[in-house]
Amino acid sequence: MIRFDLLSAVPDLLHSPLNHSIIKIAREKGYAQTEVHNLRDYSADKHKKVDDYPFGGGAGMVLTPQPVFDCHDALAAQHRYDEVIFMTPDAPVFTQADANRLSLKSNIMILCGHYKGVDQRIRDEIITAEYSIGDYVLSGGELPALVVVDAVVRLIPGVIGDAESALSDSFMDDLLDAPQYTRPAEFRGLEVPEVLRSGDHKKIREWRKRLSEEKTKSIRPDLYDIYLNNQ
């Protein structure tokens, strides 16, 4: 089983997604455990503040170190964490390879940033890995944290009924997924490609690979170059 501890200043943003769909299934089957921790519960401030103005001036507020360190220390006394992750836009982009690697871990802590950022001492002393989910800024790290949890949990054997479904997802082999079709075979004059109805599995595999290559080359030439280099 894999355990996720998510640290947040606004924990209510996390509860609903963690109780639905694949993550819920993983929890019910005993493959994953998710625990949400409110940083305000660890604040030494009488008003339960977890942010303050940045030294040197500047706009915005910064997550202070005390609540984060105390929450981390309390949890680390109970569990040995394989990774302590910070979700932030100024970090490497989270990839399928990262999800694959993390799916083999047992205990993962994720700090959800909020406000303008977090005190650098948190990143220097506690964090073992940092990820972004794209070149844009969100209000906090809660949504990115959920992205990581979902991407990792669905890879755990037994969570998804059809294991091949996860293995054939986009990015698993450095290619985007080929087009998908389902019944009916004809809808409003639009037909499913004949090869997919042929029953010839070899031809279907070849068709899907060719379409994946063409799609990746067109939409993500950077990824296509990686694919070519790995051949």
Q: What count of Cα atoms within 13 Å lies in the side-chain half-sphere of residue 140?
A: 21
Whether 162 has a pLDDT exceeding 70, the answer reads no
CATH 1.10.1270.20 in the chain is located at 168-229
Q: Which CATH number fits domain 2-153: 3.40.50.300, 2.170.190.11, 3.30.1330.30, 3.40.1280.10?
A: 3.40.1280.10
**Of how many residues is the chain composed?**
231
Q: Give strand pairing partners of 140.
A: 114
Res 116: pLDDT: 81
Question: For residue 48, what are the CA distances in angstroms to 9, 32, 34, 40, 60?
Answer: 10, 30, 24, 5, 18
Q: Which CATH number fits domain 168-229: 1.10.10.10, 1.10.1270.20, 1.10.1740.10, 1.10.287.70?
A: 1.10.1270.20
Phi, psi at residue 62, to the nearest 5°?
-125, 140
Task: Kindly report, residue by residue over 86-110, the tens digit of the pLDDT.
Answer: 999 999 999 999 999 999 999 999 9
Looking at every residue in the chain, the average pLDDT score rounds to 94
Q: Are the CB atoms for 22 and 154 separated by under 8 Å?
A: yes
pLDDT level of residue 174 (50, 70, 90 thresholds): confident
Q: How far apart are CA 84 and CA 212, in angstroms?
A: 35
Strand 51-52 with 62-63, pairing: antiparallel
Supply the DSSP symbol for 176.
P
User: Does the global pTM surpass 0.85?
Assistant: yes
Q: How far apart are CA 115 and CA 138, in angstroms?
A: 10
Supply the DSSP symbol for 89.
S
Res 114: pLDDT: 84
Percent of the chain predicted with pLDDT > 90: 89
- Quick one: average pLDDT of 54-66? 91
Q: Are the CB atoms for 203 and 195 separated by under 8 Å?
A: yes
CATH 3.40.1280.10 in the chain is located at 2-153
Res 60: pLDDT: 87
Q: How far apart are CA 228 and CA 174, in angstroms?
A: 9
